[in-house]
Structures are given as structure tokens and as C-alpha cells.
């Protein structure tokens, strides 16, 4: 994802600000839900993202920060290809690119579970700070 493209999306500047001014890669993020609505047609994709720091906790695990549930709302869906949705849906990464028809395409690179892409004429991004309820990361809170 590039910063210029994110700044052209409603909510993109806020996403950049949350992730300390850089475009998040969404490595090890988890897709929490994906919903399609024929009105529009619209797709809502919710992803739990965070940043890994170089610091390690007492148990030897990397300390994570900037947890957020990021919602991608893709409107006027023009194409989609999705495979392997399951109970975890961990990502190697998530990217937003411009498709040849000038639509936005959200690409999901899988680590385990959901993979594919969703394309639409408009994209809105919003976020809720913190780890989602029931997450394995819920106990580990933000670091300054």
C-alpha cells in the first residue's frame, strides 16, 4: 500500500496516523468478518491489525502495538475472488491497489485461511482502537 493512495481514500489519513505515519502491511493480521450486501452492492471487511515492535517481553515474545479493528467498506463491488475462509484467516499482508478500471482492489495475501481480492468503485476505511473481544492479543495492551 502506498501513502498517496491511502490519502486518496476516505479514512486513509486516519489509518496512516494510527500506524505512526506509515502504511500498515497487515502482516499476521486476522480477517474477523466479511459481509456482502446486494444493496450497492457493498462489501464490509473487518480486520484486526497491529504493529510488531523490536522489543521483546519477559516471555520472549515481540511486543505488539497499535491494535485496531480496521473496517474496509467497498461499495459498488465490481469483482471478487475469495477462497478458504475459516476460523482464523491470518494474513501475510493486505494491500490496496488501483484496478485497471480505476476501481479500488483490496488484496488479501493469506498465511492461513482467506485469500483473494475484492474490487469496487469506492472505498472507505474506519478503525476502532484496541484488540477485538476474544482475541488472543486482548490481554496484551498498547505500548507507548
Q: According to the model, what pLDDT value does residue 141 have?
A: 46
Please, where are the H alpha helices in the chain? 3-7, 12-18
Name the pairing type of β-strands 62-83 and 115-129: antiparallel
Residues 6 or more apart whose Cβ sits within 8 Å of residue 81: 116, 117
Q: According to the model, what pLDDT value does residue 137 have?
A: 74
Four-point Cα dihedral 122, 97, 18, 63, nearest 10: 140
Q: According to the model, what pLDDT value does residue 139 have?
A: 54
What are the cell numbers at 138?
A: 486482548
Q: According to the model, what pLDDT value does residue 138 have?
A: 62
What are the cell numbers at 4?
A: 498517496
Q: According to the model, what pLDDT value does residue 140 have?
A: 52
pTM of full prediction above 0.85: yes
In order along its 144 residues, the chain shows pLDDT tens digits of 789 999 999 999 999 999 999 999 999 999 999 999 999 999 999 999 999 999 999 989 889 999 999 999 999 999 999 999 999 999 999 999 999 889 999 999 999 999 999 999 999 999 999 999 878 776 554 444
Q: What share of the chain is helix, strand, coil (3-state, %, to 5)?
A: 10, 55, 35
Distance between start and end Cα atoms, the chain: 25
* C-alpha–C-alpha distance, residues 15 and 127, integer Å: 7
Residue 86, burial from CB neighbour count under 10 angstroms (0-12, 13-18, 19+) = exposed
State how far the alpha carbon of 122 is from the alpha carbons of 37, 75, 91, 92, in Å.
Answer: 15, 5, 23, 24
Amino acid at each position: 500500500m502506498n501513502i498517496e493512495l491511502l490519502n486518496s481514500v476516505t479514512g486513509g489519513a486516519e489509518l496512516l496516523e494510527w500506524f505512526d505515519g506509515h502504511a500498515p502491511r497487515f502482516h499476521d493480521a486476522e480477517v474477523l468478518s466479511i459481509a456482502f450486501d446486494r444493496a450497492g452492492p457493498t462489501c464490509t471487511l473487518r480486520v484486526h491489525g497491529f504493529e510488531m515492535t523490536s522489543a521483546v517481553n519477559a516471555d520472549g515474545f515481540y511486543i505488539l502495538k497499535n491494535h485496531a479493528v480496521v473496517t474496509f467498506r467497498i461499495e459498488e463491488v465490481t469483482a471478487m475472488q475469495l477462497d478458504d475462509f475459516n476460523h482464523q484467516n491470518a494474513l501475510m499482508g493486505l494491500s490496496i491497489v488501483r484496478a485497471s478500471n480505476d476501481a479500488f482492489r483490496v488484496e488479501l495475501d493469506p498465511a492461513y485461511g482467506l485469500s483473494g481480492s475484492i474490487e469496487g468503485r469506492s472505498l472507505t476505511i474506519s478503525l476502532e482502537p484496541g484488540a477485538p473481544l476474544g482475541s488472543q492479543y486482548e490481554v496484551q495492551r498498547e505500548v507507548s
